[in-house]
Amino acid sequence: MKTCVLIGKPNVGKTLLLLNLAKFLGNKTIKLHFMDADGNSMAKVYDIEVAKRYLCGRQPYSTMGLQWIRMNAGCQYIELVDTTGLIGDAVEPTTLRKAMAQTISFIKNASLLLHIIDATSLPSQPLPVDDIDVVLSHIFGGNDNYVMLINKIDLVDRADDILGKGAKAFNVNSDKIICVSALNKAGFKGIIDYINAQKG
Ligand SMILES: Nc1nc2c(ncn2[C@@H]2O[C@H](COP(=O)(O)OP(=O)(O)O)[C@@H](O)[C@H]2O)c(=O)[nH]1
Ligand SMILES: [Mg+2]
């Protein structure tokens, strides 16, 4: 089973993408598995709309740990894993640092890495080299199993060259970028096609 791991800064839309992708694939309810940074795990069945209200939020760090769904993505079962938002700055409290460490160490299990960027914060100037998204795209962007999802395209001007801007900002080939909206499910067919096309 392919393990597809969503990573990115807090509030970029990882959790909403997980839930709406499950919905896009025909699910109304999901079994969501959780594991916190101390290894405590549980699973809970949710109506997807209820899960959105509980698990997605404007406040950062609604997700502190790993949470995942196993589901049929057309031609195969996949495991889609949502993670703790990563930031580069020194942070308190310890629980957040532990949750970020758990996410970073989990990345090695990914058959596919889906790195989410917020389209509304795409810079027109080059980003600092220590920006966490620059670091992640630099480390993983050349790998076959990496794709960048530029999310929230519903919030940006259609005329804006988001794909070109993303490719330039992160020095990633534009064929490794998919523009999506986790809110209105735009670009989701592209994500599923990408997942199904990848071997592993
Ligand atoms: N307009 C818009 N809002 C989004 C989109 N994706 C996520 N959001 C909102 O962004 C906020 C953070 O989303 P969440 O999934 O919790 O982000 P996470 O911290 O990366 O898991 C929530 O208020 C979401 O409703 C999108 O594609 N479009
Ligand atoms: Mg989240």
Give per-residue pLDDT as tens, 157-170: 876 799 999 999 99
Copy the structure tokens of residue 86. Answer: 């990563």
pLDDT computed for residue 92 by the predictor: 74
Residue 198 · residue 167 · CB < 8 Å: no
Buried b (16+ CB within 10 A) or exposed e, 30-47: bebbbbbbeeeeeeeebe
Binning pLDDT at 50, 70 and 90, where does residue 60 land? low
- Is the confidence at residue 42, as pLDDT, over 80? yes
**What are residue 193's DSSP bridge partners?**
none
Report, in this order, helix, strand and coil percent for the chain, each rounded to 5.
35, 25, 40
Contacts of 14 (CB under 8 A, 6+ apart): 6, 7, 8, 63, 82, 83, 85, 116
**Cα distance between residue 28 and residue 35, in whole Å:** 23
Atom of ligand 1 nearest to the CA of 155: 1
Pocket test for ligand 1, best of 21, 56, 185 (most atoms within 8 A of CB): 56
Task: Give the pLDDT confidence of 113-146 residue by residue, as tens digits.
Answer: 999 999 999 987 778 889 999 999 999 999 999 9
Average model confidence (pLDDT) for the chain?
Answer: 93
Q: Which fold has domain 2-197?
A: Rossmann fold (3.40.50)
Q: Which ligand is nearest to the CA of 9?
A: 1
Residue nearest to atom 2 of ligand 1 (CA): 152
Of the two residues 173 and 74, the one the predictor is more confident about is 173
**Cα distance between residue 116 and residue 11, in whole Å:** 10
Estimate the crossing angle of helix 14-24 against helix 48-55, to 10 degrees. 180
Q: For residue 76, give the nearest of 49, 112, 52 by alpha carbon.
A: 112
Place of tokens 């920006």: 131
Q: How big is the chain by its Cα radius of gyration, in Å?
A: 16
Decide: 58 in ligand 1 pocket, CB within 6 A. Answer: yes
Of the two residues 88 and 184, the one the predictor is more confident about is 184
Decide: 12 in ligand 1 pocket, CB within 6 A. Answer: yes
